[in-house]
Amino acid sequence: MTIPEFSHLIGGHCVRGASTFEVINPATEEIVGLAPDATVAQLNLAVASARAAFPAWRDLDLTERQAKVAALAGVFAANIDELKRLLTAEQGKPLDDAQVDIMTGSYFCQLSSMLTPPVEVNEDSAERLSVTRHVPLGVVGAIAPWNVPIGLAFWKVAPALVAGNTVVLKPSPFTPLTTLRIAELLREMLPPGVLNVLSGGDRLGPWMTSHPGLDKISFTGSTATGRKVMESAAATLKRVTLELGGNDAAIVLPGVNVAEVAEKLFQAAFGNSGQICIATKRLYVHDAIYDAFADAMVALADTAKIGDGAEQGTRFGPIQNRAQFDRVQDLIADSREQGHRFLTGLDQAVPERGWFIPLTIIDNPPSNARIVQEEQFGPVLPLLRFDDVDTAIALANDTDYGLGASVWGPSEQAALIAERLEAGTVWVNEVQTVSPSAPFGGHKQSGIGSENGLHGLLEYTNPKVISIAKTAGRGVNGSST
Ligand code: NAD
């Protein structure tokens, strides 16, 4: 069988890589396709194409840009069968989850096209009219991760385009193929150069963050890489939006329906095999219900089907790549060495081929354990017992991360606890709902800036003030000129 080779999208053309790299199916360890490995010359060409396309795109009426971005949405839906199969093959997630990922891209094209940057009147006095508009930045470099490759890429692309920027998008080298295929499908729907998609290995990201032709980097990935992005972008004072890692805590109070809440938090912790930035990564459960809650979680873990995402009935796929698999295994090994008690995981069977890890639940490890302190980004969950709410809040906040958190219990009490948790989003009696009109972003070392809604749109703009004197011929100090 021939292995399909994918292309970059540069200046409206599908461009082959001078060389390619293999993209591996994490469930079968087979090659899914060959991705182009961008050279510096190809990056320069993509940036130059985006730069050349910028003035005309910026000068289009907002309504025209909105209509063009809204029209992209239909392409995702029209090709969903092909796209979800490709995404499952390269990412590992079950087909239904792949569909959600792709349709999130579609949805954000639609939603972003409904946003309008405000025009603010700062002063309208006898002396002057001062107005703020939000103008595009220029060329945006968008860098996406491998866990939700399409949804998170189009969280960036769609608002950046609506705001009037042109874009160079880089998918993760672990999951570039579906993004490249979508780029090919969208090719004729936008003027050449407005959206460019480049795939490459480890060198391409740093080339982008240091490239003088990019005006902003919108980055989603780990906190460690986010620091490098910010450092590199500083040389040319690029704007940055950084959506980084998390170590989300959930606090479960007595009085909840244990079966119902356990089911929701089970999905929040293990969905996408734990590879979600806002996965529940530390689960604090009140002593009064801890044992019943633990039993419910274990029962769910032990009956869930883990396997190739392409197979009917699979609920949880593999870890997406070998390096992440090794990281999660290392955390599990550390817990074993420390003598933590495993409620389930160690003996559960998973497919031998592929990077599979059983759903693993650890019973009340100490607060300073690595599995509590570090972002696991995999299907391993520490259950933590508490009997004093103040202590649970202090422990939940005792982290450099601040992406999300959730509280479960009587609404009034839970809402008061939510006020005290340090995170960009705190859910009460729900989790992981992302409102398209609410800003999504991290506090502390989980990020800088936000995505989605008007806040997200404005991150792709500079405020520009026009101040018009109403008294003709008067200078700034009021003197006659
Ligand atoms: P990663 O940081 O390894 O890579 C993210 C992207 O950055 C990839 O495209 C990668 O090729 C690129 N990259 C790598 N080194 C770079 C460099 N020096 N300069 C520029 N770009 C570089 O992250 P990942 O492993 O793909 O994703 C997992 C992490 O992302 C987790 O920590 C997760 O919590 C986080 N994440 C955060 C959000 C959010 O919205 N806050 C969403 C999803 C994932």
Q: What is the CATH number of the domain that holds 43?
A: 3.40.605.10
Q: Whose CA is nearest to atom 40 of ligand 1?
A: 243
Those residues whose C-beta lies under 8 Å from the C-beta of residue 209, and which sit 6 or more positions away, are 141, 143, 217, 228, 229, 232, 233, 238
Residue-wise pLDDT tens digits, 30-70: 999 999 999 999 999 999 999 999 999 999 999 999 999 99
Q: How far is the C-alpha of 222 from the C-alpha of 279, rounded, in Å?
A: 14
Residue 230 lies in a domain: yes
Same domain, 366 and 283: yes
In short, whether 175's Cβ falls inside 6 Å of ligand 1 is no
Shared domain check, 263 and 393: yes
Provide the pLDDT confidence category of residue 354 given band limits of 50, 70 and 90: very high
| Residues 133 and 106 sit within 8 Å (Cβ to Cβ) | no
Give me 476's structure tokens: 């700034």
Give the span between the Cα atoms of 318 and 327, in whole angstroms: 14
Residue nearest to atom 1 of ligand 1 (CA): 221
Half-sphere exposure of 82 (CA within 13 A, CB side): 12
CATH of the domain at 345: 3.40.309.10
Q: Is the pLDDT of residue 475 over 70?
A: no
pLDDT at 471: 85
Q: Is residue 157 part of a domain?
A: yes
Sheet containing strand 8-10, strands side by side: 13-15, 8-10, 195-197, 166-170, 139-143, 216-220, 239-243, 447-448
Nearest CA to ligand 1 atom 4: 221
Predicted confidence band at 435 (pLDDT cuts at 50, 70, 90)? confident
Atom of ligand 1 nearest to the CA of 145: 26
Are 152 and 171 in contact by the 8 Å Cβ rule? The answer is no
Q: Does ligand 1 lie within 6 Å of residue 143's CB atom? A: yes
Q: How far is the CA of 214 from the centre of ligand 1 (A)?
A: 19
**Which tokens go with 352?**
């031998």
Exactly one of 90, 243, 451, 459 is catalytic; name it: 243
CA of residue 124 to ligand 1 center, whole Å? 45
Q: Is residue 228 located within the same domain as residue 92? A: yes
- Name the average pLDDT for the chain: 97
pLDDT tens digits, one per residue of 205-225? 999 999 999 999 999 999 999
In one-letter notation, the amino acid at residue 380 is V
User: Which of 322, 301, 318 lies closest to 309 in space, CA to CA?
Assistant: 318
For helices 62-78 and 80-91, give the axis angle rounded to 10 degrees.
80
* pLDDT tens track for 68-94: 999 999 999 999 999 999 999 999 999
Are 257 and 234 contained in the same domain? no
Report the pLDDT value the prediction gives residue 347, as an integer from 0 to 100: 84
Q: Report d(CA 129, CA 134) in Å as an integer.
A: 17
339 inside domain: yes
Determine the structural domain holding residue 456 and report its residue range.
8-244+442-466
What is the per-residue pLDDT for 477? 57
Rounded CA-CA distance 143/242 in Å is 10
**Closest residue to atom 5 of ligand 1, CA basis:** 221
109 catalytically annotated: no
176 Cβ inside 6 Å of ligand 1: no
Does 153 lie in the same domain as 81? yes
Are 254 and 279 contained in the same domain?
yes
d(CA 366, CA 383): 10
Q: Looking at the structure, do residues 229 and 202 belong to the same domain, yes or no?
A: yes
Mean per-residue pLDDT for 457-481? 80
479 belongs to a structural domain: no
Q: Is residue 198 part of a domain?
A: yes
146 lines ligand 1 (CB under 6 A): yes
| 3-class DSSP assignment, residue 363 | strand
- 273 and 200 within one domain: no
Q: Is 441 in the pocket of ligand 1 (CB under 6 A)?
A: no
Q: List, edge to edge, every strand of the sheet that includes 120-124.
A: 120-124, 128-136, 461-469
Residues 153 and 204 in one domain: yes
Give the residue carrying structure tokens 């160079």. Answer: 168
Is 220 a pocket residue for ligand 1 (Cβ < 6 Å)?
Answer: yes
Q: Give per-residue burial for 4-35: e unless 16+ CB within 10 Å, then b.
A: eebbbbbbbeebebeebeebbbbbbeeebbbb
Give the ligand 1 atom nearest the CA of 451.
40
Residue 148 lies in a domain: yes
Are residues 147 and 172 in contact, defined by beta-carbon separation less than 8 angstroms?
Answer: no
Catalytic residue flag (residue 260): no
Q: Is 196 in the pocket of ligand 1 (CB under 6 A)?
A: no
Instruction: Tell me which of 90, 109, 277, 459 is the catalytic residue.
Output: 277
- Specify the number of domains making up the chain: 2
Q: How far apart are CA 440 and CA 21, in angstroms?
A: 33
Token pair, residue 296, equals: 């419910």
In a domain, 472, yes or no: no
Q: Is residue 433 domain-resident? A: no
Q: How far apart are CA 479 and CA 274, in angstroms?
A: 66
CA of 260 to the centre of ligand 1 (A): 33
Q: Give the tens place of pLDDT for each residue, 266-321.
A: 999 999 999 999 999 999 999 999 999 999 999 999 999 999 999 999 999 999 99
Place 476 in a pLDDT band, splitting at 50, 70 and 90: low
Considering the domain architecture, whether residues 196 and 272 belong to the same structural domain is answered as no
Q: How far is the CA of 28 from the centre of ligand 1 (A)?
A: 24
For 26-35, write each residue's pLDDT tens digit. Answer: 999 999 999 9
Interval 405-429: pLDDT, tens:
999 999 999 999 999 999 999 999 9
Residue nearest to atom 9 of ligand 1 (CA): 172
Q: Note the helical H segments in 60-197.
A: 62-78, 80-91, 95-112, 149-162, 177-186
Closest residue to atom 10 of ligand 1, CA basis: 172
Backbone angles phi, psi at 297, to 5 degrees: -65, -45
231 and 297 in a single domain? The answer is no
Answer for the pair 324, 41: CB distance below 8 angstroms, yes or no: no
Q: Is residue 239 located within the same domain as residue 270?
A: no
Q: Which residues contact 366 (CB under 8 A, 6 or more apart)?
A: 372
